[in-house]
Amino acid sequence: MEKSDPIIIIENACKYFGQLKAVNNVSLSIQPGEKVVIIGPSGSGKSTLLRSINRLEEISSGRIVVDGLDIMDKSNDINKIRMEVGMVFQSFNLFPHKTALQNLTMAPIKLRKMAREQAEEIALRLLKKVNIQDKAHAYPAQLSGGQQQRVAIARALAMNPKIMLFDEPTSALDPEMIGEVLDVMKNLALEGMTMVVVTHEMGFAREVADRVIFMDHGAVVEEGTPEHFFHNPTHERTKLFLSQIL
């Protein structure tokens, strides 16, 4: 596969929950190393779209190709695909019965068949990277929200994924902890990770995004560079949304 090929291709994706069209005919392609930030009012389908990329939600119609593999094609092992796609949740979802370190080493040991020593070495390095190495042996319940989310990011990185998905990673955090999580994400962006981020943090979008996508009622309303997006939005709905949150 050539480097210029998109790493994520979404074609005419639709997702219905009963009558509700959560995602309405979205097409999108994302290049390796690209940082895409998806914004939009709540209920606009942005989280559902993001969760469709690793098939936590199954799209009702359309096609999603991740790293060259059609994720709806049952002959492709979805678990193999997910190993290459890290996911960070709003509510952290750390495993409470495991220490921070064990949260990081579990998947590499069980799924990548990595030796424990090697997995722990990598885990400690990642915990250092997210600036929380001193809590390696703490349980999630002993960590603050910001610390838990940084461990959760490190846990996803421990699988050495090609893509990282972030589903409102700072929405459940107290305001004073948002910065520490965003800093970790910014550093990750600088390292060239392919990132798709659903967030309400406009500062982050402005600073980090290569492309900002605005969704409303399940559809992509407008997309462009942060420059274009924040300074010259073309659509009325985008303008209205931005005026409400900025």
Partner 1 sequence: MSHENPKVIEISDGAAIPTKKDFGLFSAWRIAFFGALLVLIYLVVTRPDPYLRIVKFLPDGIIVTFQVTFFSIALALLLGLITGLGRISRNKIINAIASTYVEVVRGIPLLVQLFYIYYALGRFVKVPDMVAAVVAMSVCYGAYMGEVFRAGIESIDKGQTEAARSLGFNRRQTMFYVILPQAWRTILPPVGNEFIALLKDTSLVSILAVADLLRRGREFASETFAYFETYTVIALIYLLITLILSKLVSLMEERLNYYGKV
Look at residues 98, 167, 177, 85 and name the one whose alpha carbon lies nearest to residue 130. 177
Note the helical H segments in 11-166. 46-53, 78-83, 100-111, 116-129, 145-157
Which residues of this chain interact with partner 1, rule CB under 8 A? Answer: 54, 56, 79-80, 82-83, 85-87, 89, 91-97, 106-107, 110-111, 138-142, 152, 155-156, 159, 172
CB of 103 vs partner 1, minimal distance in Å: 9
Cβ proximity to partner 1: between 158 and 205 the closer is: 158
CA 31 remoteness from chain centre:
15
Cβ proximity to partner 1: between 91 and 225 the closer is: 91
CB of 1 vs partner 1, minimal distance in Å: 20
Dihedral pair phi/psi, residue 122, rounded to 5°? -65, -40
Cβ proximity to partner 1: between 175 and 232 the closer is: 175
CB of 214 vs partner 1, minimal distance in Å: 25
CB of 221 vs partner 1, minimal distance in Å: 28
148 vs 95: CA distance, rounded Å = 10
Sheet holding 85-88, edge to edge: 85-88, 163-167, 194-198, 35-39, 211-216, 219-224
Cβ proximity to partner 1: between 25 and 90 the closer is: 90
CB of 7 vs partner 1, minimal distance in Å: 17
Cβ proximity to partner 1: between 3 and 97 the closer is: 97
- 3-state DSSP: the chain helix, strand, coil percent, rounded to 5? 40, 25, 35
